[in-house]
Amino acid sequence: MIGANEDLDNIPKQFISVNELLEIFADLEKTSLEKSAQWLINHKQILNRAKRLVFKNKYTLVEYEHNDNDFYNCPVEAISIIANGEDCDPFNDYVGFARYVILMSLKEWGLDIDDTLINNSHAYIAQNCYEQDDNFYKKQCAYLISMIGQKPELEPPIQQEKDINNTYLLNPSNPNYIPAYALLLRIHHDLNTLGRFEGTKQKRVADCLDEYGEHYGVQNTSTNVTHFSNLIKVRTTAKDEASTAMKKILSQEQK
């Protein structure tokens, strides 16, 4: 339950009544409330994804629990009654579902839900989580929401771009940006750091050009493959050259 000490504006933003849900659906699909209810009952998985709630008053939003002494209908049962052609119960304004989940589910199903409706909704965070229902991960959501409210201080960059030699050549927004240099660095990173692709060096370079060469204005042609292959040394070659250099140094020291 959400008490009066919480932000009161957030309580109705977490709740969508049966009547409002049917009205939104009917308006979007240009159909009747009865047919809207029938569609929702036929797609009950959408209703089952969201918590069933009772909006008792502007201070109190609680989860629906079946109780013989309670005069509220189950929200799903209320929709089923309307789907069968019966009149809307006035208490359908007070029973419903977790608003954000329902609206997002309808949008995922292809309904043209206005983003303003979603943006003005708040996720309902249950107080108790159970592995067998959708609340299992909602405690994590609560933690994330609290973290979002705490704006972390931005750490200053280690070094300004102007202090790093030639990085402007890799910045597309800089007028001196050179796409070929940026592409060369990316291919080198893919081949030697990530070890992407298989085959000969030329084949791997060709695979790189196939995947993202067009972003740098370079096509996968035999000439371009040869050009970039000649500029890039694979790890084995680099290792051999380093070994040769060390041998030369050691031989000079022994003289």
The better pLDDT of the pair 33, 165 is held by 33
- pLDDT of 75 > 50? The answer is yes
The better pLDDT of the pair 53, 130 is held by 53
- pLDDT of 21 > 90? The answer is yes
Q: Which of 49-53, 221-225, 232-236 has the lowest mean pLDDT?
A: 232-236
pTM of the prediction?
0.50
Number of Cβ within a 10 Å radius of residue 237: 12
**Which residue(s) pair with 62 in the sheet?**
54
Would you place residue 175 in the very low, low, confident or very high pLDDT band (cuts 50, 70, 90)?
confident
pLDDT score for 1:
44
179-206 pLDDT, tens digit each: 888 888 888 888 877 777 888 889 999 9
31-58 pLDDT, tens digit each: 999 999 999 999 998 898 888 899 887 7
* Sign of the CA dihedral running 76, 79, 84, 87: positive
In the chain, % of residues over pLDDT 90: 24
Spatial contact of 15 and 55, defined as CB atoms under 8 Å apart: yes
The better pLDDT of the pair 211, 240 is held by 211
| Separation CA 36–CA 168 (nearest Å) | 57
In the chain, % of residues over pLDDT 70: 68
